[in-house]
Chains A and B, each alone.
Chain A
């Protein structure tokens, strides 16, 4: 049995970092992720862990130093949010293309402007094409569990990619809630020691990292990255299963909640999934066949698995917590819809944008979405296919 505790999402990640005890953590503070390096720095100062903490002068340097440490052969990580990640932008691609298995604990926050400190997914969704693995969490328990699995996925020899462990800013990062922690020795044993195959400080095998690639070579590196991302699918499932054997909590690409016989489904990422579950229980008690697909892994994108899980739904509401300004859907909707088309799932799709800049998402919002999906299907009601919910009425 685990240890019954109560921690905020940020405290939970910091505790997981302490238990994993990586080699190097460069970081620069930004709301709402600041507490993570702050708590880790306290652990180090108190002698509870021996990670080398590097206070840097910007997020660009934080990611650069994390890349440098990882290239040298260290297990490295950093933490950031929003504009902090935007300042890391060019380095995100450098980390991925150099195949460095480092970790980023991202506390999702809206990008400016207008300047806003609250949750949405525009920071990580904007980085979806940078070559990072992306794992999202519903609550403090999941972000803790996800971080403990992170290096097992990223460092796997078939993967070698950086990994982003995401949670919703303030909504989970600053909310105190119950959690079940694992014993230190169990975590240590699960994560294991890091033994890099190739690294800069290996004097026996001198190597160079991050060189210029002429057109004759560049494209092959991209193909290698995409193959690694495809390989990550199996590794994520294997690690999620093994984690389940150890902790009792098994993880896959997504969670299906009352989805098996559902006529109407919502696809959503993060903390809003919990709120949606309450709405689903309410509707199920009235005999409505409704369910949820909560996506945990957005990169690699489990397209066939999603299509199969949604195959029998009459209507699907896909909920994006970020804009992509295509004028027709958010990024999650675009990718899920493509998967449904490719695997020949014919269903009514409605794309919803919700919760931008911390706009509260309530169980009532989920009830409205399900009611609309039913209306579209049963009564043939024609609605705008791309919709915002939760907008101010005045």
Chain B
């Protein structure tokens, strides 16, 4: 792993890409890392494209610019592939992770010749099966951890369980669903 891992998230307002970036920062912080998690703010509204970023490092993070040459890109909404240049600057030794039910072969032609690794995950199905609703956050977070190796999967599951217990202390019934979403993602991301 190089000194600093840089991740760029593409989503639409209201889908939780910003929250996912903050959650990733949070879990890596608990893992002992130096972290940054920040959104790029514009005139935000539901459904509009948004970008969020993560830096994760063993060293002090001083840079405060956006990320132009990420190691990983996460696409929370696949309709963005048609309007946003999601692979711009993406390292070919890194990877792109896309939320889609479609097979990889159908997605690759939309990636403007990107030669690095491509991973897909059907976050909608996993979320609907485990939580009964469409919350792509947990699956996308798990897929990002699995692909980027920013931390061990077991450690990640343990930290997330702690977080969910804290966050959903008044709704314990959703904890197991979220944990199941993470585990299913680990098995299905490809």
**Which residues of A are in contact with B by a Cβ distance under 8 Å?**
6, 32, 117-118, 138-139, 168, 170-172, 174-178, 271-272, 274-275, 277-278, 358, 360-363
* Contacting pair A176 B35 (CB below 8 A): yes
One of A32, A176, A358, A362 near B36 (C-beta < 8 A): A176
User: Does the CB pair B25–A275 fall under 8 Å?
Assistant: no
Bound state CA distance, A170 and B35, in angstroms? 16
Asked if A176 and B25 sit within 8 Å, CB to CB, the answer is: yes
User: A354 → chain B, closest Cβ, in Å?
Assistant: 11
* Listed stretches B56-64, B78-86, B135-143; interface member: B56-64
Q: Would you call B22 an interface residue if the criterion is a C-beta within 8 Å of the partner chain's C-beta atoms?
A: yes
Assess whether B35 is in contact with A178, with CB atoms less than 8 Å apart: yes
Give the complex CA separation of A223 and B1 in angstroms: 60
Q: Given the known A-B contacts A6-B25, A271-B64, A278-B62, are A177 and B41 also in contact in the complex, defined by CB atoms under 8 Å? A: no
Interface pair A360/B65, CB less than 8 Å apart: yes
A156–B134 Cα distance when bound, in Å, is 56
* A363 B41 Cβ-Cβ under 8 A: no
Contact between chains at A363 and B36 (CB < 8 Å): no
- Known A6-B25, A6-B26, A6-B29; judge A175-B37 contact (CB<8 A): yes
Q: Is the CB of A171 within 8 A of B64?
A: yes
Asked if A172 meets B64 with Cβ closer than 8 Å, knowing A6-B35, A118-B41, A177-B35, the reply is yes
Indicate which residue in B22, B34, B38, B63 contacts A178 across the interface (CB closer than 8 Å): B34
Does B39 have its Cβ within 8 Å of any Cβ on chain A? yes
CB-defined contacts of B36 to chain A, threshold 8 Å? 175-177
- B41→A170 contact, CB < 8 A: yes
Instruction: List 10 interface pairs A-B (beta carbons < 8 Å), by A numbering.
Output: A6-B25, A6-B29, A170-B41, A172-B64, A174-B39, A176-B22, A271-B64, A274-B63, A275-B65, A362-B68
How many residues on the B side are at the interface (Cβ–Cβ under 8 A)?
19
Contact of A278 among B34, B35, B63 (CB under 8 A): B63
List B contacts of A275 (CB < 8 A). 62-65
Given A6-B29, A6-B35, A178-B29, A363 and B65 touching (CB < 8 A)? yes
For A358, give the chain B residue with the smallest CB separation. Answer: B41
Chain B residues within 8 Å of A32, by CB? 41
Q: Would you call B66 an interface residue if the criterion is a C-beta within 8 Å of the partner chain's C-beta atoms?
A: yes
Separation in Å of the B56 CB from the closest CB of chain A? 11
Q: With a CB–CB cut-off of 8 A, which chain B residues contact A362?
A: 65-66, 68
Complex contacts, A118 vs chain B, CB 8 Å: 41
Q: Which residues does chain A contribute within 8 Å of B43, judged by CB atoms?
A: 117
Question: Which residues of B sit under 8 angstroms from A168, Cβ to Cβ?
Answer: 64
| Chain B: CB-nearest residue to A271 | B64
Complex contacts, A172 vs chain B, CB 8 Å:
64
Q: Which of A117, A174, A175, A274 contacts B62 (CB 8 A)?
A: A274
With a cutoff of 8 Å between Cβ atoms, the chain B residues found around residue A358 in the complex are: 41
The 4 closest A-B pairs by CB, nearest first: A274-B62, A175-B38, A176-B37, A271-B64
A174 touches B38 (CB 8 A): yes
Q: CA–CA, A358 to B64, complex, Å?
A: 12
With both beta carbons as reference points, the residue of chain A lying nearest to B62 in the complex is identified as A274
**8 Å CB contacts to A: which residues of B1-31?**
22, 25-26, 29
Task: Check B38 against A176 for contact (C-beta < 8 Å).
Answer: yes
On whether A360 and B66 interact (CB within 8 A), knowing A6-B35, A174-B41, A175-B36, the answer reads yes
**B38 nearest in chain A by CB position:** A175
Contacts of A117 in B (CB 8 A): 41, 43
How many angstroms from the CA of A32 to the CA of B41 in the assembled complex? 10
CA–CA, A272 to B62, complex, Å? 9
C-alpha spacing A362/B29, complex, angstroms: 25
- B47-76, CB under 8 A of A: which get 1 and which 0? 000000000000001111110100000000
Closest chain-B Cβ to A194's Cβ sits at a distance in Å of: 34
The smallest beta-carbon distance between A262 and chain B, in angstroms, is 18
CB-defined contacts of B25 to chain A, threshold 8 Å? 6, 176-177
CB distance from B16 to the nearest CB of A (A): 15
> Residues of A contacting B34 with CB < 8 Å?
177-178
Q: Which B residues are in CB contact (< 8 Å) with A360?
A: 65-66
Bound complex: CA of A108 vs CA of B93, how far in Å? 38
Closest chain A residue to B65, Cβ basis: A362
Greatest chain B CB density within 10 A among A168, A178, A274 is at A178
Which partner residue on chain A sits nearest B57 by CB separation? A178
Contacts of B64 in A (CB 8 A): 139, 168, 171-172, 175, 271-272, 274-275, 361
- Having A170-B38, A171-B38, A175-B38, one finds 20 other A-B pairs with CB under 8 Å, namely A6-B25, A6-B26, A117-B41, A139-B64, A174-B38, A174-B41, A175-B64, A176-B22, A176-B25, A176-B36, A177-B25, A177-B36, A177-B61, A178-B35, A274-B62, A274-B63, A275-B62, A278-B63, A361-B64, A362-B65
